[in-house]
Amino acid sequence: MTAPASAPRTPPTQRDWSWRSRHVRGLIYQVIALGVIGLALWFLAHNTLTNMRVRGIQSGFDFLTAPAGFDISEHLIPYESNDPYWMAFLVGVLNTLRVAIVGIVLTTILGTLLGIGRFSRNALVRGLCYAYVELFRNIPILLQLLMWYLFLIEALPTAGEAKSIMGLVYLGAGGLTYPVPVWGLGHGLAAVGALVGVALSYLWARSARLHF
């Protein structure tokens, strides 16, 4: 048997590095564009630093160690107004992460329920889910944020004029305020007794069904 003849190898193409080469011209244009962008950035930085120096404004990150001078109502770590700016930034990052995690979980649950509702046999549920999806999918997220801000912050009364719901819950621009029970030993024993009572009732009902 004769070995199959191998295909002839094509010689490597020699790249033309002359000015007439499109590759060379494109490379030169890219270098020129990067140089122009670099000069523009240098000019802006130099002009900004010069104006800040004339006005007595310090540049750099030394301000991070200075006292922030403002309070943050919600914080996951201890924070006071005399803490440095870097602590305020850290509190803001943690608050952002908390809101993001809660939002991801809630939107995942909501999206799953809406997706299931789109295929529901109930015409009302299917129509509501379809209308919700088609309405909000075509509204930009920035417009939705503005809408909810105007509805939840601007439209609601101030904290001193919060609306009362049955004298127990107060709704205002500051949020939703409601009473929280203070649990003690008596409340815990009552809860345990209620659970034991429910369990005994279930066992008694099951035994009655088996015997009768």
pLDDT in tens, 134-190: 888 888 888 988 888 887 777 777 766 777 777 677 777 767 777 777 777 677 788
Concatenated DSSP letters for 21-43? Answer: -HHHHHHHHHHHHHHHHHHHHHH
Fill in the amino acid letter for 12: P
Residue with tokens 């104006």: 51
Enter the pTM of the model.
0.51
Distance CA 147, CA 119 (A): 29
101-127 tens-digit pLDDT:
999 999 999 999 999 999 988 999 999
Give how far the C-alpha of residue 138 lies from the chain's centroid of Cα atoms, to the nearest Å.
Answer: 20
